[in-house]
Chains A and B, each alone.
Chain A
Amino acid sequence: MIEAYFIHLLILIGIYIILAISLQLAMGFTGLINLGHIAFLGIGAYTSALLALAGWPFWIAFLLAGLIAAFFGFLLSIPTHKLKGDYLALATMGFSFVVYAILLNWTELTRGPLGIPGIPKPSLLGFSFSSNLSFLILTAVITLISYLIIKRLVTSPFGKVLESIRDDELASKTIGKNTFKSKAIALVVSAFFVGIAGSLYAHYITFIDPSSFTIIQLIPVLLIVIVGGLASLEGTIIATVVLVSIPEMLRFVGFPSSVIGPARQILYALILLLILIFKPKGFYGKVKL
């Protein structure tokens, strides 16, 4: 029983890690405060769920979830490329509302608020990941690959170009960098990984509805990025493990589930406040907020 619970928790942590490190790529490294991040999770989840239910093999649905989210990342990068800071945050937040509204109202495709039930568990080459332990292994492998690719990117000279855009975009252009292209790549790669995280989420929970992809769901991810520290992947991973686990401990202290929901939000708000006052760079961050 307790073992099953830990496996569940670890799967959630894996999905959250992909969500957080991909946001870190856009926000911590490139300086793009992207509040539309959660919309890519929805796009990935719906893409993968609908394709799988239409009979497509899991791995194709999974990859297309990433690619279609990446395509929307590219679309988002076009109108927002001249926006910075608060304005970019507002525009991308608008994007997340638009995607939410579409998921809710395009009922022929998404069944709207009824959601999509019965999403099949993934299977690869005849092996079905129907047990939670096997799903955990799949999640762990995908999380590890995502981490290695993003790590490689941010430690390469290209990563420094992204950081130069975060620190001073005009100066970056002045030394000849096509910052529009680099920012678009950052958003596309970031969206790709959120998209595949969405696919994992859909096939794990086996039910999705639009309410899982609202800006409220992004707040824990933002919190993870800020607590871990901007531009620190390792900090982000530690912060994910801690922040996803802490509210779960409330369960063991004996709080009823009706209290855990609000208590989690209070706890997150409190942590955010304390971090901003006492450790504005986060625990492992090098970059000032």
Chain B
Amino acid sequence: MLQISNLKKHFGGIKAVNNVSFEIQENKITALIGPNGSGKTTVFNLISGILKADSGRIIFNKEEITNKKVNEISNLGVSRLFQQARLFNNLTVKENLLLAINNEDTKFWKNLINYKFTDEDYKKINKIAEVVGIESFMNKQAGDLSFGQKRLVEIARAIINPHKLLILDEPVAGVNPKLRKEILLLLKKLKEKGEAILLIEHDMNFTLNIADNVIVMDEGKVIAEGNPKQIKNNKNVLEAYLGE
């Protein structure tokens, strides 16, 4: 459902993403791993339109999305979780989630005349809040939450945002082991429902446990691709990433 071919992005003399090609399939969890600075987040920024590619193509659901605007790509069905917290801190958790439901809220005249969220909208966010385990602080301000709580709210928001592909940048970084397990189960559940997930994660245990397919990057290039078993035994990967 997502095909990336010959993608390139340079920052000055640094080739952050250098001729990267890979593909992601429906009903699968794909993990993108690699040492710090290997270009993983840059690939994410290119997919979600935050950065413009120098060359190469990104095709999503048979549609070219290379260099489209961030909101357009989101509305085509790519939902992104950032590495750092990006909640709307002065809004409540509930408001943060309601914003992601659809874009009726951007219609000026409709809102001025009379537009309210429906019971169905509330049901939808409450259901996901329950699954993610954040229903107890729905009315709290997002800025007052702890790091782990913020992470869960962001994951919930990314899930509520209508999508066919979830791209998650380090969803469990800095999250305690119990929550980690819950997030793992949640992602597996989403996969069973037919979603495609692409994630960046440094925790090898977590990654190899969850991924169907692993792509390894180093210095802007893809150096290996395969199922977790193959990756565990790949010499290049051991050298570049695990330092053995």
- When the two chains form their complex, are residues B89 and A161 in contact, meaning their CB atoms are under 8 A apart? no
Say whether, besides A157-B104, A158-B106, A231-B90, A177 and B71 are in contact (CB < 8 Å). Answer: yes
Residues of A within 8 A of B82 (CB): 171, 174
Q: Is A173 within 8 A of B91, CB to CB?
A: no
Please report the total number of B residues contacting A with Cβ < 8 Å: 34
Min CB distance A208 to B, Å, is 31
* Contact among A156, A163, A177, A288 with B111 in the assembled complex (CB-CB below 8 Å): A156
CB <8 Å contact, B111 and A157: yes
Q: Which of A168-188 contact B (CB under 8 A)?
A: 168, 170-179, 181-182, 185
Q: Judging by beta carbons under 8 Å apart, are A168 and B71 in contact?
A: no
In Å, the complex CA distance between A159 and B115 comes to 11
State A174–B104 Cα separation when bound (angstroms).
16
Whether A177 lies near B88 (C-beta < 8 A) is: no
CA gap between A182 and B105 in the complex, in Å? 10
Binary CB contact string for chain B from 38 to 56 against chain A (1 if under 8 A, 0 otherwise): 0000000000101000000
Judge whether A81 is part of the interface by a CB distance below 8 angstroms.
Answer: no
- Residue A166 lies at the interface, judged by CB distance under 8 Å to chain B: yes
Docked pose: A175 CA to B162 CA in angstroms? 9
Which residue of A160, A171, A176 is within 8 Å of B98 (Cβ)?
A160
A199 vs B87: C-alpha distance in the bound complex, in angstroms? Answer: 40
Query: Which residues from chain A sit less than 8 Å from chain B, CB to CB?
Result: 149, 152-153, 156-161, 163-164, 166-168, 170-179, 181-182, 185, 231, 286-288
Contact yes or no, B75 A176, CB < 8 A: yes
0 or 1 for each of B82-105: is its CB under 8 Å from A? (1 = yes): 100011111100010011100111
Is B90 within 8 A of A171, CB to CB? no
B71→A157 contact, CB < 8 A: no
- Flag if A164 contacts B70 (CB, 8 Å): no
Q: In the complex, what distance in Å separates the CA atom of A168 from the CA atom of B50?
A: 14
Interface check B11, CB cutoff 8 A: no
Question: When A174-B70, A176-B74, A179-B71 are in contact, do A168 and B99 touch as well, CB less than 8 Å?
Answer: no
The answer, yes or no, to whether B178 is at the interface (CB within 8 Å) is: no
A-contact 0/1 string along B134-158, CB 8 Å cutoff: 0000000000000000000000010
- CB-contact partner of B161 in A152, A175, A287, under 8 A: A175
Nearest 7 Cβ contacts at the A-B interface? A157-B105, A158-B111, A167-B88, A173-B70, A156-B111, A176-B74, A171-B86
Chain B hits for A157, CB < 8 A: 98-99, 104-105, 111, 115-117
Minimum CB–CB distance from B188 to chain A (whole Å) comes to 24
Among A158, A182, A185: residue with most chain B CB under 10 A: A158
7 contacts between A and B (CB under 8 A): A158-B111, A167-B89, A171-B87, A172-B99, A173-B74, A174-B70, A175-B161
Besides the contacts A156-B115, A157-B117, what 19 more A-B pairs have beta carbons closer than 8 Å?
A: A153-B112, A156-B111, A156-B116, A157-B111, A158-B107, A158-B108, A160-B95, A160-B105, A163-B95, A168-B86, A168-B89, A170-B70, A171-B88, A173-B70, A173-B71, A174-B71, A175-B74, A176-B162, A185-B108
Q: Which residues of A contact B9 (CB under 8 A)?
A: none
Across-interface contacts of B103 in A (CB, < 8 A): 176-178
Q: What chain B residues lie within 8 Å of A176 (beta carbons)?
A: 71, 74-75, 100, 103, 161-162
A166 to B89, CA, bound (A): 10
CA distance A149 to B106 in the complex (A): 16
Residues of chain B contacted by A179 (CB below 8 angstroms) = 71
Q: How far is the CA of A286 from the CA of B86 in the complex (A)?
A: 19
Instruction: Please report the C-alpha to C-alpha distance between residue A171 and residue B88 in the assembled complex, in whole angstroms.
Output: 8
- Chain A residue at minimum C-beta to C-beta distance from B162: A176
Contact with A along B59-92 (1 / 0, CB 8 A): 0000000000111001100011010001111110
Cβ B74 vs Cβ A160 within 8 A:
no
Q: How far is the CA of A286 from the CA of B89 in the complex (A)?
A: 11
What residues on B are CB-neighbors of A182 within 8 Å?
106
Docked pose: A152 CA to B112 CA in angstroms? 6
